[in-house]
């Protein structure tokens, strides 16, 4: 993936700050109601407990941003392969992966990466890009 940034380290330091008592739960569990709703309705289940409250209700929601997307910028990716559809129509946009806990409302940007036609190698499509076609 192009321009992939992993925010695991940043997440770790925030969670450690909370466990040390340097950060209050209200400071870090501040998910916007829209994000919580998106997580509940369209979020992908995350197979690990919430780092703050340990509940098994972590969800991942992806959002797309980019000037070319115009009114579509800032929307959550739904259905699941909508980003692939956008990727075939637009040259470049950014995808943000946000994790949100439905219980305590902890939220965090897990990763972000670039998508779009610019980043699709022509050979990747014919080679199947690791996908198995029936």
Task: Return residues touching Zn ion (CB under 5 A).
Answer: 50, 52-53, 55, 101, 103-104, 106
Residue 30 CB partners (closer than 8 Å, separation 6+): 105, 107
Q: Which is nearer to Zn ion, 43 or 116 (CB)?
A: 43
Q: Which is nearer to Zn ion, 50 or 77 (CB)?
A: 50
Q: How far is the CB of 50 from Zn ion (least distance, A)?
A: 3
The Cα-based distances of 122 to 18, 26, 93, 128 in angstroms read: 46, 47, 18, 11
Q: How far is the CB of 44 from Zn ion (least distance, A)?
A: 16
SS3 75: strand
Q: Which is nearer to Zn ion, 46 or 111 (CB)?
A: 46
CA gap 17, 66 in Å, rounded: 32
Q: Which is nearer to Zn ion, 44 or 53 (CB)?
A: 53
For residues 92 and 64, the answer to whether their CB atoms sit within 8 Å is: no
Q: How far is the CB of 48 from Zn ion (least distance, A)?
A: 11
Q: How far is the CB of 92 from Zn ion (least distance, A)?
A: 34
82 CB burial (10 A radius; 0-12, 13-18, 19+) = middle
């Amino acid at each position: 993936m192009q321009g992939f940034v992993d925010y695991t380290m940043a997440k770790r330091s925030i969670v450690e700050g909370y466990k040390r008592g340097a950060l209050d739960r209200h400071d870090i569990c501040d998910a916007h109601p829209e994000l919580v709703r998106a997580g509940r309705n369209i979020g992908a289940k995350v197979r690990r407990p919430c780092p703050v409250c340990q509940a098994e209700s972590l969800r991942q929601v992806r959002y797309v941003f980019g000037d070319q997307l115009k009114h579509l910028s800032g929307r959550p990716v739904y259905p699941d392969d909508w980003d692939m559809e956008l990727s075939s129509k637009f040259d470049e946009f950014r995808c943000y992966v946000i994790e949100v806990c439905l219980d305590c409302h902890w939220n965090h940007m897990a990763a972000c990466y670039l998508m779009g036609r610019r980043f699709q190698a022509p050979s990747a499509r014919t080679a199947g890009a690791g996908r198995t076609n029936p």
